[in-house]
Structure 1
Amino acid sequence: MKKTLLINFVLLLYFVSSQAQSIQLKTDDLGLNISSSGQITAMLNPKTGKNYVAAGVKAPLLKIQTGEQWEEPEQAAFNPKSGTITLTFAASKVSADVKISQKKTHLVFELIRLSAKDKVNAVIWGPYPTVIAKTIGEVVGVVRDGSYAIGLQALNVKTLGGVLNNAEGADYSRGSVAVSQPYGSSLQAFSLDRSKDRKHTVWNQYPNMAVKAIANETTVGSKIALFGSPENEVLTRIGAIELAEGLPHPLINGVWHKQSPETGRAYMISDFDESNIDSMLNYTQQAGLMSLYQEGPFQSWGHFILNPTAFPHGNAGMKACVDKASKKGIRIGVHTLSNFVNTDDPYVTPMPDKRLALTGSSILTEEIAPTATEITVESNEYFKNIKPSTLHAVVIGDEIIRFREVTATAPYKLLDCQRGAYGTKATAHVRGTAIGMMMDYPYNTLFTSFNLQQEIAGNLGRFFNETGISQMDFDGHEGCLSAGEGDYGMQAFAEKVFKDTKHTLVNGTSRSSHYYWHICHYWNWGEPWYGGFRESQGDYRLENQPFLERNYMPNMLGWFLLSSTTTAEDIEWMMARAAGYHAGFALVARYKSLQKNPNTSQLLALIKLWQEAYRKNIFSADQLSRLKNPENDFHLEQNNQGWKLYPFKKNKFEHTKQLLQPGQPTFSEWQFTNSNAEQPLNFTLTFTGKEGVIRNPWLELDGYFKLELPGEFEAGTSIVCNGTTVKVYNSKGGFKKEITLKQPVPALKTGKHTIKFDCGFTDESEIINRFIIKTISNAEVIPNK
């Protein structure tokens, strides 16, 4: 009896002690203290003793949500024998067991038990407030102060790095695992209970959408790692965490992709097929590019059936292309849109798959015949949300029907119905039958539920295994939001493709996200369709670079279009930016454009030359700074002694409409100096403004040579002279015509020069004529290293 009382007394003392004392955890580079109330009180750099937790800010190890209420723990008891912290949440009377693993490189926290898991809708790890403010890696989840770094890593798909903003768990920002705060920064992750049927707003545009349960997918099992490290060791530390915790850890030629020189290399996007693959591989090789990426190989997305015109031998034909490329050390990639399903795919026609995404459903209140063009429904709730829909499609049984609109008052009727859409069969339907509003996208595609999107991910993996394809982009990655599972849907889709593909799969995405960071090789944003070669999303491309750098991603400049009229000047402008940022890019170069451009060999050789230069790190810090500036132009050459970088000097002038006395000359007169050797007259004349027309512009050089440019030119048009030809381009950089010269343009001699310019303006024109003369400077010689 006395012995039992003594044991109980000791246990009581241990319990009281464990409640009162702080819990101290450590790695080689991080000390973490947790109070008896479950708050993190210290994140210590053990080498300096500095505490990085922001003073006066709460830092709960874990918060839980029951109903609409969020709770922080009131007590934390640590059992050193099992390595488990038990957190007690008083208001809901829930307790949570968190398993802790202390490793040399990081700490692991895993939620292994909830006393009433059915009551808990969501959990949040943190937020963990730090005083670090210098560099915030919002996606990778690392904050740095110049010497020391603290990071959070989600260790499975159910744990989403970021701020929980909505019921679906979707982060519409670029990333929020690390967030700037007035006191410095915070780190956070969360997990949702997805094991029950729910209704919530999906993708910010589908209110009250029904989301089916994912069996056994509760918050139990949510898992994170916390680490500290010297700033220059962060990437190596994350690699060690990946290996230790079973995270995706892709290799390229045996090297972790985040540290491989192959990651972030430039590639070619084209329209190759079985008949021209040899030519396209040669072009890719001439440019020194990593891969050849087919921009639209599929007849339909979903089952990923290859277009029989381009690939008459199907997967075997694609595999033959891959084998040819492999012999040249080139990857083959393909483009698709993640879980987008074409309306001619077998998932849609002739019988729609039951797992296609519905934004909501009602029931028929009247029987309808196969020819009925009005359909009466019990509720118009989901059918009136027509703004995000481009197909106006509903499904009843095995029939898809398109409609114009639904009436605003009862009896609610779908009007002007087009029966048996997309190859489905128009049939009779009885009263009480379910009718669902389908979720679609303007690309003539439908979306999927979670189960179907996982099947589609499996289809991709199988296609890659059968053909050997080793590059893709998760373009349209946000389409995985269609399942109503937020970022979880996107992460699960990418992980499924990654795990199912049995070889290296170089990949990018349309969306940045935390768990996917471990899988992806690059984020390559910036498209060529919205302006000229230099203008299309130009600022956006450059603004992306600091974002990539603070998240340990390779610099990428986006897509550039090589057309039949692309010039060497444009290519060297692009390559100067690539060199400045040591960045990759995608070169969109279609077969016919490469065949038609008279300078294709020169352009591809320039691309290869510049890549070789910056991969060898030949440029100085000052040169790199100038190369980054989009206002600067350069020319690069190489010989046996080394490299020659030729900067261009730009002389910029403007001419606007002037109101002068009758008969007074309206021309503008400008002076400039060519300080270098005699060279061709190289100028660009751009008619800037929202609207208007100018007529018959002319310029005169040094009082003796007059160049007349007859005709009318709209706002946005550019005229480019390289000293030999004069070409006209539209506002998007598309070639329009070449102006025939009556006499050769004289060379620009060394010394001072005068240019006169004038043109006719229409009455309403507000065009500004911007005139840029480029002169090439002496070479900056860079010896071979």
Structure 2
Amino acid sequence: MKKISFLFIILIQYLSVSAQEIGLKSEGLNLSLSAKGQLTTLSNPVSGKNYLAMGEKAPLLKIRVGDNWYEPTDATFKSGIIYLIYLPVKITAQVKVVQKKTHLTFELIKIDANDKVNAVIWGPYPTVISKTIGEVVGVVRDGEYAIGIQALNPKTLGGVLKNSEGSVETTGSRGSTAVAQPYGSSLQAFSLDRSEDRKLTVWGRPEMPVKAISNETTLGSKIALFGCAEPQVLSRIGAIELAEGLPHALINGVWFKQSPETGRAYLISDFDETTVDAMLDYTQQAGLASLYHEGPFQSWGHFILDPKSFPNGIAGMKTCVDKATKKGIRIGVHTLSTFINTNDPYVTPIPDQRLSMTGSSVLTENISATAGEIPVASDQYFRDIKSSTLHAVKIGDEIIRFRAVSAQAPYKLLDCQRGVFGTKVSDHSKGEKAGMLFDYPYNTLFPNFELQQEIAGNLGRFFNQTGVSQMDFDGHEGCLSSGEGDYGIQIFADKVIKDTKHTLVNGTSRSSHYYWHLCHYWNWGEPWYGGFRESQGDFRLENQPFLERNYMPNMLGWFLLSSTTTAEDIEWMMARAAGYNAGFALVARYKNLQKNPNTSQLLALVKLWQEAYRSKIFSADQIVRLKNPENDFHLERNQQGWKLYPFKKYKFEHEKKVLQPGEPTFSQWEFANNDTEQPLNFTLTFMGKEGSISNPWIEIDGYFKLELPGEYEAGNSVVCDGTHIKLYNKKGGFVRDIALKQAIPSLKTGKHVIKFDCEFPEEKELSNRFIVKTLGNAETISK
């Protein structure tokens, strides 16, 4: 009877609608679908050019039954619905189509035998476009025309389905909604059935039990497809957001993607109720948009403010926000999304039943409160715990840490520490569950999906109570612990932002397609791994093309302003910001700002450079040079206009020489200062992996000898600004001032000769890099 009913449905559909090609239209895109459910046209209605990659499969919708994928074998169109038939599994899917002026929408509204379909993929849709591929935003463009896909709800994930949890961003990839292909590119999205309990590999943890989300099937999965002239892409996506009820992030009433406020730089600091006024003043001096607290919470999860910094709690933070608002400054706070500290009420004194577990086993015996070994039926979730740093299991309301599980049955958790994190030690009965807690190297735990949503609500409530209006979803990948892949990431951010009753300017540590509509910036690049210029330097610059092709504001990441940061470093950073018209975060703690003797000058330079590039004063040639990290500049402004001074660099190398006895081993270099008389400015870096050189000396123009007695380790740098000499370690951290016996002479115009030598260790391969910088003539900009 089932077979007869299925054939009858097919017959009725064929009687109602002839098996002809289905044509769909919007203002900027014509789409045709064959009678077998394959796209045959993706064309520009103005030029008539078909951008579909011919010879490639292009199913409107693929379905997965069990582990097998199926493409449609028949497609018919009636009353706004495309009926897709899948053989041999005998399944019919109904896709609702709406043809709008700006785009086409496709929504999966019905599947007979829906319980059999565990995943669907929209596409892949192959195109011949290869010039610019926005892998996260899902737009490909060739310089004239663009085609894009947009997921229209959080359950629809832009990207390639690579794993059972639906996690899109993997090593080496930040997104796959659009992907480069040999023929050009492809566009794709997918949805998973999450309505049944599953066992998945979650963030590298195999066979992790993941609870069902009631009624969360593939039904309702929905996408938009559009085409337009390339310059219209951003406005077209904005129109789709409004038409389809997608998040449409505003700031001052303007869509942030088109606002002049996009990508504004901000100050990260450690203010408290007593220092906030001073920090707001510093923020104003630098012309920055917001003051962002680097760590205001005593614990993550409930987001309890640290009473040392905020003794008045929520009221104290609200007072800080009110003070900032009067100055036109936003207050932000930093947290790690769903990371839960072990001192949070979700952990202590009674651990929440919704903490995420990678798996569990049952106790094989009764155990007392004093037992140091815990007998378990299986070692499955306890034996391979390299990814775990806490080695923590939850039994009832007690959390226990263990060293390892025994190698053979009967299995036991060995060397147990009972009642950790303030939980109560107690007896436990045979058959109770011992659950391995999902943790992270920051000594934190994670929530399951239900608790994750509660934590999102906690954040929204905190923002509403305090008026705080900026955050980064740092640690956004923590949402993966729920086993829901990018769905978990997107639904968490979606709830935080929807629960917040005012604009919440936000960024992320993880890019995803739907979240693109929610966020204001992506700001990657940390200052902890090297010097001011070196820490993730290449990474920061490599990010810029990625941001540009995904229609995100250019951002350079975080930079650390310490008590010894110099004007040269600040201008180096600001030159890059000017070249890319980029925002950044300046990490400047209160004590460092108080200690640095040049704080006012440094903050004034930050403000000056921002005013310059936000006013678009630089020429195309200057912008190219400003982008190059090898170039240094100095910027000034007076009544006549702006003056950009380029530095010229002379690079020299000194290596160990094997010469005749008594022959001088020094190196001699020449350079010219063709501009005005100026201070001697040089950097001497001791190159090599290990070891140290001794007693370097520098002689200038045959009459002034600068001796630097002592040992200098590989990676250290000596920096001279003409009046002071400072020593920095290999990470760019200030070590000490080097005392001078007399003032360093200035560089007069003309040619100069420098000699350099040092004592090398016997067996280490070290060299010295000597860079002299001279300030060039001003390039006057009269805007």
Identify the residue that residue 59 of structure 2 maps to in structure 1: 60
Identify the residue that residue 163 of structure 2 maps to in structure 1: 166
Give the Cα–Cα distance (whole angstroms) in 2 for the partners of residues 143 and 506 of structure 1: 27
Is 1:130 aligned to 2:130, yes or no?
no
Is 1:385 aligned to 2:405, yes or no?
no
Identify the residue that residue 428 of structure 1 maps to in structure 2: 427
TM-score by length of structure 2 reads: 0.98
Identify the residue that residue 186 of structure 1 maps to in structure 2: 186
SS of residue in 1 equivalent to 2:604: helix
Give the Cα–Cα distance (whole angstroms) in 1 for the partners of residues 321 and 458 of structure 2: 19
**CA deviations over 1:69-109 (Å, ceiling 9, x no partner):** 10000000100x2x000100011111000000000000000
Give the Cα–Cα distance (whole angstroms) in 2 for the partners of residues 686 and 25 of structure 1: 64
Alpha carbons 1:19, 1:75 under 8 Å: kept: no
TM superposition shift of 1:711: 0.6
**CA deviations over 1:255-313 (Å, ceiling 9, x no partner):** 00111111210000000000000000000000000100000000000000000000000
What aligned pairs does 1:17-36 form with structure 2 within 5 A after superposition? 18-36=17-35
Which of 88, 93, 101 does residue 91 from structure 1 map onto?
A: 88
Give the Cα–Cα distance (whole angstroms) in 2 for the partners of residues 750 and 271 of structure 1: 46
Identify the residue that residue 358 of structure 2 maps to in structure 1: 359
Give the Cα–Cα distance (whole angstroms) in 2 for the partners of residues 17 and 303 of structure 1: 58
SS of residue in 2 equivalent to 1:20: coil
Alpha carbons 1:374, 1:414 under 8 Å: kept: yes
With 19-28 and 458-467 compared, the bigger mean Cα shift is at 19-28
SS of residue in 2 equivalent to 1:770: strand
Identify the residue that residue 114 of structure 1 maps to in structure 2: 111
SS of residue in 2 equivalent to 1:451: helix
Identify the residue that residue 143 of structure 1 maps to in structure 2: 140
User: What amino acid does structure 1 have at the position aligned with 2:553?
Assistant: P
TM superposition shift of 1:764: 2.3
TM superposition shift of 1:13: 9.6
Is 1:724 aligned to 2:717, yes or no?
no
Alpha carbons 2:647, 2:776 under 8 Å: kept: yes
Give the Cα–Cα distance (whole angstroms) in 2 for the partners of residues 649 and 589 of structure 1: 30
**CA deviations over 1:711-767 (Å, ceiling 9, x no partner):** 100001000011101110111111111111111100101001100000001112212
Is 1:314 aligned to 2:305, yes or no?
no
Identify the residue that residue 509 of structure 1 maps to in structure 2: 508
What aligned pairs does 1:122-521 form with structure 2 within 5 A after superposition? 122-171=119-168, 172=170, 173-203=173-203, 205-521=204-520
Give the Cα–Cα distance (whole angstroms) in 1 for the partners of residues 240 and 266 of structure 2: 30
**CA deviations over 1:13-42 (Å, ceiling 9, x no partner):** 983573421000000110000001000000
SS of residue in 1 equivalent to 2:510: coil
User: What amino acid does structure 1 have at the position aligned with 2:312?
Assistant: H
Give the Cα–Cα distance (whole angstroms) in 2 for the partners of residues 182 and 769 of structure 1: 46
Alpha carbons 1:268, 1:586 under 8 Å: kept: yes
| TM superposition outliers: structure 1 runs of 4+ over 6 Å | 11-14
Give the Cα–Cα distance (whole angstroms) in 1 for the partners of residues 297 and 389 of structure 2: 22
Identify the residue that residue 648 of structure 2 maps to in structure 1: 649
Identify the residue that residue 661 of structure 1 maps to in structure 2: 660
With 11-20 and 302-311 compared, the bigger mean Cα shift is at 11-20
**CA deviations over 1:388-413 (Å, ceiling 9, x no partner):** 00000000000000000001110111
Give the Cα–Cα distance (whole angstroms) in 2 for the partners of residues 12 and 536 of structure 1: 67
Alpha carbons 1:112, 1:221 under 8 Å: kept: yes
**CA deviations over 1:133-173 (Å, ceiling 9, x no partner):** 00000000000000000000000000000000011000123
Alpha carbons 2:13, 2:76 under 8 Å: kept: no
User: What amino acid does structure 2 have at the position aligned with 1:397?
Assistant: G
**CA deviations over 1:585-614 (Å, ceiling 9, x no partner):** 000000000000000000000000000000
Give the Cα–Cα distance (whole angstroms) in 2 for the partners of residues 19 and 458 of structure 1: 51
Give the Cα–Cα distance (whole angstroms) in 1 for the partners of residues 561 and 215 of structure 2: 51
- Structure 1 vs Structure 2: percent identity of aligned residues? 75
Identify the residue that residue 4 of structure 2 maps to in structure 1: none
TM superposition shift of 1:385: 2.0
Gaps of at least 5 residues in structure 2 are 1-7
TM superposition shift of 1:12: 7.2
Give the Cα–Cα distance (whole angstroms) in 2 for the partners of residues 193 and 515 of structure 1: 18
Give the Cα–Cα distance (whole angstroms) in 2 for the partners of residues 498 and 242 of structure 1: 16
TM superposition shift of 1:662: 1.5
Alpha carbons 2:249, 2:520 under 8 Å: kept: no
Give the Cα–Cα distance (whole angstroms) in 1 for the partners of residues 668 and 41 of structure 2: 69
**CA deviations over 1:700-719 (Å, ceiling 9, x no partner):** 00100000001100001000
Give the Cα–Cα distance (whole angstroms) in 1 for the partners of residues 522 and 767 of structure 2: 37
Give the Cα–Cα distance (whole angstroms) in 2 for the partners of residues 301 and 740 of structure 1: 46
Identify the residue that residue 703 of structure 1 maps to in structure 2: 702
Which of 101, 119, 122 does residue 104 from structure 1 map onto?
A: 101
Give the Cα–Cα distance (whole angstroms) in 1 for the partners of residues 710 and 41 of structure 2: 73
User: What amino acid does structure 1 have at the position aligned with 2:365?
Assistant: E
Give the Cα–Cα distance (whole angstroms) in 1 for the partners of residues 718 and 39 of structure 2: 64
SS of residue in 2 equivalent to 1:437: strand
TM superposition shift of 1:663: 1.1
Is 1:593 aligned to 2:592, yes or no?
yes
Give the Cα–Cα distance (whole angstroms) in 1 for the partners of residues 257 and 370 of structure 2: 59
Give the Cα–Cα distance (whole angstroms) in 1 for the partners of residues 352 and 365 of structure 2: 25
SS of residue in 1 equivalent to 2:643: strand
Alpha carbons 1:18, 1:36 under 8 Å: kept: no
Give the Cα–Cα distance (whole angstroms) in 2 for the partners of residues 58 and 401 of structure 1: 54
Identify the residue that residue 686 of structure 1 maps to in structure 2: 685
User: What amino acid does structure 1 have at the position aligned with 2:138?
Assistant: G
**CA deviations over 1:457-512 (Å, ceiling 9, x no partner):** 00000000000000000000000000000000000000000100000000000001
User: What amino acid does structure 1 have at the position aligned with 2:100?
Assistant: K
Give the Cα–Cα distance (whole angstroms) in 2 for the partners of residues 25 and 641 of structure 1: 59
Between the two proteins, the alignment pairs up a number of residues equal to 772
Identify the residue that residue 781 of structure 1 maps to in structure 2: 780
Is 1:676 aligned to 2:700, yes or no?
no
Gaps of at least 5 residues in structure 1 are 1-8
Identify the residue that residue 755 of structure 2 maps to in structure 1: 756
Identify the residue that residue 743 of structure 2 maps to in structure 1: 744
Alpha carbons 1:694, 1:765 under 8 Å: kept: no
Alpha carbons 2:330, 2:470 under 8 Å: kept: yes
Alpha carbons 2:463, 2:469 under 8 Å: kept: yes
SS of residue in 1 equivalent to 2:17: helix
